[in-house]
Structure 1
Amino acid sequence: MPAPALPDSSSSKTTLRILSILVFNFANYLTIGLPLAILPGYVHDHLGYSAFWAGLVISLQYFATLLSRPHAGRYADKVGPKRVVMLGLSGCLLSGVFYLLALWFDASPVVSLALLCIGRLLLGAGQSFAGTGSTLWGINVVGSLHIGKVISWSGVVTYGAMAIGAPLGVWVFSMGGLTLLSVCIILVALAAFITAWRKPPVAGTASKQIPFRQVLGKVLPYGIMLALASTGFGVIATFITLFYAAKGWPGAAFSLTFFSVAFVGMRLLLPNSINRFGGLRVALVCFVVEITGLVLVFFAPSSPVAMIGAFITGAGFSLVYPALGVVAVKKLPQENQGSALATYSAFLDLSLGITGPLAGILMAQAGIDSIYLGSALLVLISMALALRLLLRQTSQETSATVSSE
């Protein structure tokens, strides 16, 4: 991790400096959000493939992110985060190029699907490099004393971009089909690439790392809870358009917007809740809220109720990552907390990677409604694990207090 820098006298100035770097992550996730509500239907309805393949096309992005994340971190340490951001944005740009190629070869569904898959793999690698690089770049700019603020704002710009991207992508698609949508993705990535290229670089500093197995052992319980809870986001992001289509309801893209607005809103409204109440307590409340939202989507009799369910799910999921992440990172010494954060984040990538295909199989067997109830049950397991860890933590704190007295 980079050495701490002197803190800014003005919090707003620090925030602006952070956002001047995280704008690249905004562009990164805008290229992710733009096709998110379009591609499942394109694969399922236009190319004629099953829900499994529609889910797989979306999930390939998350697998690529998972596999490339360690390389992004090491490369950022070696050459600095600026080059990593530019490389990531190049992947985002190329994904748009492959979407165009897929459209041109749509007379051959197999070729078109293969080209879409390549585009999703490039986008996943781009997401990893641009996201990791921009976060490290932001930390280098303002200093490691502000690492929590950088990570928090990274989540805000990420889901802010998703909130804008999904309905914007539907509108662009209605205006010019997949051609115009692909061109927009290319232009967004190109503009961000040029802006990043013109900024002065800030070199990263590699730190001594403990063995990966030790890092994994410390982070594993919190990563498992994160992975299970992240299925709520996965089933909404990947299948909400097909869910609405099966019900004959309009407004699927706005359910993604509602989810993202709730996510961002909770982070802005409750910035100090984790420090005040503790990560595990906040995570427990989040799990209860997320389960409520998923169950509401499962039972939704109409489009507005499903949107409310998506909103509640987003509110619950919002603080899960930082709440569990704070606890996980503190399990490692300061010089290894970067590795802890990267390993912990990999569980999110893994969850989103497998949620699509597994949910597609469940949907084919038990109906599309079942995936939301299934996700709620997985989040319930996370809640039980968090409660167990909290009780153990409380017991240890009580024993320490008694011993000191």
Structure 2
Amino acid sequence: MTQEPCITDNNRSVKPVAVTSFSVFLTYLTAGIALPVIPLFVHNDLGMNNVMVGIAVGIQFFATLANRGFAGKKADQQGAKKTTRFGMGVITLVGLVYFIALFAHHSVWLQFGLLVAGRLLLGLGESFLLTGNLTWGLGLIGQKRSGIVMSWNGMAIYGSLAAGAPIGLFLYHHFAFLGVSIACIVCPLVALLCNAKVPSVPISGGDRPSFTTVLKQIVVPGTVLALQGVGFAVIGAFISLYFAAEHWGNAGYTLTIFGLAYVVVRIFFGGLPDKIGGIKVTILSLGVELIGLVLIGFSLQEWQALVGAALTGAGCSLVFPAMGVEIMKRVDAQVRGTALGCFSAFQDIAYGATGPLAGFLANSAGYGAVYIAGACSALLGIVISVTMMRPVEQS
């Protein structure tokens, strides 16, 4: 494997990674602020139906997935800092497109088209932002502390979604969509200022393995990540309907509890994959997720489902950094960005495919069966993780 430069010394300060992670938080507030507002704007302001709401919200996923590999290649060949800041620049345009849409009020369809264009730009920018920032962080503090890099980036993303929602609703209530669009312009601009002085990292030289080779190296950890993602996807898609069917209240707290558990585990145990190994952490995490999903699926009372959501969030929290640590052991330094981009795509696929498949299951077997299916996915992830315990030859 290509020799790491001196900046990977384990004694190197993690402060630059803290700064880049905070910049991700600020940039991704663009997504967090807009997420609860987009449905209201499309349905109330534009007068469109729920199908169009779904298109406006969901189309970002396709843009993110389509550009993961390209973003990774750019980070490997043109530099991680450059890639990250390019993603921030693209996301700045999201707010600008939202702003322009306000002046197209003579045509509802033009406004909707501009809104969709903004969502596509967000997906594109997200690919470059997150893949570039992960690669940048690994270059700043080294492969041996890759778990910290991935954990902090995950906290930044989930933190921005949690903080952005109330901010977005406040802005929309007091300043309409104009306030939201301006905030979506300002946040990534501030982020660009925050990480401007963080040093770039060298581009690793040497022969670059083919994309097919890289994919083969990450497909097993990626599959485990996808199986973990089913748990979050079924909670996000069906928990409100499940609570309504059971005549329980407080369904809105479920995702809050999930998110809090997710972040708390990363705060206190984010370095665990680096210390004891990614596979061990993954097996333990998937076991906790499995218990949480089973508890939700067989809940007889509301509090049991809420506890199950907390356990599921705690279980999901460390799988990405844990499997990411294993990937860093398998790939050459000069293709880390490509590997991380492809790895992240497995989670995107899980989030996108789970909803419709679980919908068919819910129609035929009820909502509880959806969570049992999620638990089965976690169990399969454990089985695959156990097969990864044998020693791996480094590239």
| Aligned residue number for residue 67 of structure 1 | 66
Q: Is the 8 A contact 1:87 1:126 kept in 2?
A: yes
Question: How far apart, CA to CA, are the structure 2 residues paired with 1:363 and 1:81?
Answer: 42
Letter in 2 for 1:319: L
For residues 10-34 of structure 1, what are the alpha-carbon distances to aligned partners after superposition, in whole Å with 9 as ceiling and x for unaligned?
67xx222211222221122222222
| Aligned residue number for residue 94 of structure 1 | 93
Question: How far apart, CA to CA, are the structure 1 residues paired with 2:15 and 2:220?
Answer: 35
Q: CA deviation at 1:116?
A: 2.4
Letter in 2 for 1:327: E
Question: How far apart, CA to CA, are the structure 2 residues paired with 1:78 and 1:128?
Answer: 16
Q: CA deviation at 1:250?
A: 6.3
Q: Structure 1 residue 134 and structure 2 residue 133: aligned?
A: yes
CA RMSD of aligned residues (A): 3.7
| Aligned residue number for residue 261 of structure 1 | 260
| Aligned residue number for residue 402 of structure 1 | none
* Bigger Cα displacement from structure 2, 238-247 vs 105-114: 238-247
Q: CA deviation at 1:266?
A: 0.7
Q: 1:148 to 1:239 in 2, by over 3 A?
A: same
Q: TM-score, normalising length from structure 2?
A: 0.81
Q: Spell out the pairing of 1:22-41 with structure 2 (5 A cutoff).
A: 22-41=21-40
Q: CA deviation at 1:308?
A: 4.4
| Aligned residue number for residue 49 of structure 1 | 49
Give the aligned length.
388
Q: Spell out the pairing of 1:6-405 with structure 2 (5 A cutoff).
A: 6=7, 14-43=13-42, 47-50=47-50, 53-103=52-102, 105=104, 109-197=108-196, 201-237=200-236, 252=252, 255-275=254-274, 278-294=277-293, 308-332=307-331, 336-355=335-354, 362=360, 370=367, 373-374=369-370, 376-390=372-386, 392=387
Question: How far apart, CA to CA, are the structure 1 residues paired with 2:34 and 2:305?
Answer: 21
Q: CA deviation at 1:318?
A: 0.2
Q: Is the 8 A contact 1:284 1:383 kept in 2?
A: no
Q: Is the 8 A contact 1:294 1:309 kept in 2?
A: yes
Q: Is the 8 A contact 1:40 1:242 kept in 2?
A: no
Letter in 1 for 2:317: S
**SS of corresponding position for 2:6:** coil
**SS of corresponding position for 2:21:** helix
* Bigger Cα displacement from structure 2, 375-384 vs 160-169: 375-384
For residues 294-328 of structure 1, what are the alpha-carbon distances to aligned partners after superposition, in whole Å with 9 as ceiling and x for unaligned?
45556778887665444332211101112233334
Question: How far apart, CA to CA, are the structure 1 residues paired with 2:362 and 2:55?
Answer: 14
For residues 241-272 of structure 1, what are the alpha-carbon distances to aligned partners after superposition, in whole Å with 9 as ceiling and x for unaligned?
788899795683x5444332211211222235
**SS of corresponding position for 1:209:** coil
Question: How far apart, CA to CA, are the structure 2 residues paired with 1:200 and 1:333?
Answer: 22
Structure 1 spans left out of the alignment, 5+ residues: 398-405
* Bigger Cα displacement from structure 2, 79-88 vs 17-26: 79-88
Q: 1:239 to 1:192 in 2, by over 3 A?
A: farther
Q: 1:143 to 1:220 in 2, by over 3 A?
A: closer
Question: How far apart, CA to CA, are the structure 1 residues paired with 2:298 and 2:172?
Answer: 30
Q: TM-score, normalising length from structure 1?
A: 0.79
Question: How far apart, CA to CA, are the structure 2 residues paired with 1:256 and 1:62?
Answer: 19
Q: 1:242 to 1:327 in 2, by over 3 A?
A: same
Letter in 1 for 2:383: L
Question: How far apart, CA to CA, are the structure 1 residues paired with 2:54 and 2:316?
Answer: 21
Question: How far apart, CA to CA, are the structure 2 residues paired with 1:21 and 1:261?
Answer: 22
Q: CA deviation at 1:163?
A: 2.3
| Aligned residue number for residue 5 of structure 1 | 6
Q: 1:375 to 1:337 in 2, by over 3 A?
A: farther
Percent of aligned positions with the same letter in both sequences?
A: 32
Structure 2 spans left out of the alignment, 5+ residues: none
For residues 84-109 of structure 1, what are the alpha-carbon distances to aligned partners after superposition, in whole Å with 9 as ceiling and x for unaligned?
22221122222223334445557755
Question: How far apart, CA to CA, are the structure 2 residues paired with 1:160 and 1:74?
Answer: 27
Q: Is the 8 A contact 2:203 2:334 kept in 1?
A: no
Question: How far apart, CA to CA, are the structure 2 residues paired with 1:243 and 1:101?
Answer: 39
Q: Is the 8 A contact 2:278 2:322 kept in 1?
A: yes
Question: How far apart, CA to CA, are the structure 2 residues paired with 1:115 and 1:209?
Answer: 39
